A and B are shown apart, each in its own frame.
Chain A
Amino acid sequence: NAGVMQNPRHLVRRRGQEARLRCSPMKGHSHVYWYRQLPEEGLKFMVYLQKENIIDESGMPKERFSAEFPKEGPSILRIQQVVRGDSAAYFCASSLQGSTDTQYFGPGTRLTVL
């Protein structure tokens, strides 16, 4: 029974490039959450999605960041024109039921912007 999977585990981009982070939720889970973690800090909520719908994107920067969770395939967090300040660990979590249900986390993608 695979847990939440994220890839790549490490991603290096130069300033101005695009970063695509993928998250496959646990089997049967249709709720996905993205968080960002800076070194020595806690997790900051970015966006909550259900299949084909964005439920809450209040933590997402207004520009350059977007997220989707299509009917088929993984959830994608996309960062366009990356800047050094985007360097962080990005975690995906999934839950079976809605937003008040237990969230299970993936191992994260560590993005480094050169």
Chain B
Amino acid sequence: GQQLNQSPQSMFIQEGEDVSMNCTSSSIFNTWLWYKQDPGEGPVLLIALYKAGELTSNGRLTAQFGITRKDSFLNISASIPSDVGIYFCAGRDAGNNRKLIWGLGTSLAVNP
């Protein structure tokens, strides 16, 4: 099935550093979502994007819906230890917006 290309696969950073991760698709999307999953828990929605070029913030998190509608990025500023987890991008294909398509996740480790 269709899958998003999410990178990097994993990151190990120092507390206080900024983090950037991105997702690309082979087709045009009309929705981009960013979720965080803590160990042993379900994904929690961080940011939802619905329009090309849209830039949305949620505290130290900022995400953008790419102009081409085939990509999105998530930035985390001034990382803290509780940012540790797996970050997933997900989106809806403009041609079939019923299903959420998922990336494989970016695993983030923060060294205090």
Chain A residues engaging chain B, CB cutoff 8 angstroms: 4, 6, 33, 41-45, 48, 55-56, 58-59, 91, 93, 99-100, 102-108
Q: Which of A43, A91, A100, A102 has the most CB of B within 10 A?
A: A43
Q: B1-26, CB under 8 A of A: which get 1 and which 0?
A: 10100100000000000000000000
Specify the chain A residue showing the minimal Cβ separation from B10. A40
Residue pairs across A and B with Cβ atoms less than 8 A apart, 9 shown, are A43-B90, A43-B100, A45-B1, A45-B102, A48-B98, A55-B98, A100-B98, A108-B40, A108-B42
Q: Which of B1, B92, B104 contacts A41 (CB 8 A)?
A: B104
CA distance A4 to B44 in the complex (A): 11
Q: Which of B1, B98, B102 contacts A99 (CB 8 A)?
A: B98
Instruction: Indicate the size class of the contact surface on chain B.
Output: 20 to 34
B34 at the interface (CB under 8 A from A): no
B41 with A100: CB separation less than 8 A = no
Given that A42-B103, A45-B100, A99-B98 are known contacts, is A107 also in contact with B1, CB under 8 Å in the complex?
no
Q: Which of B41, B48, B88, B99 contacts A108 (CB 8 A)?
A: B41
B40 with A104: CB separation less than 8 A = no
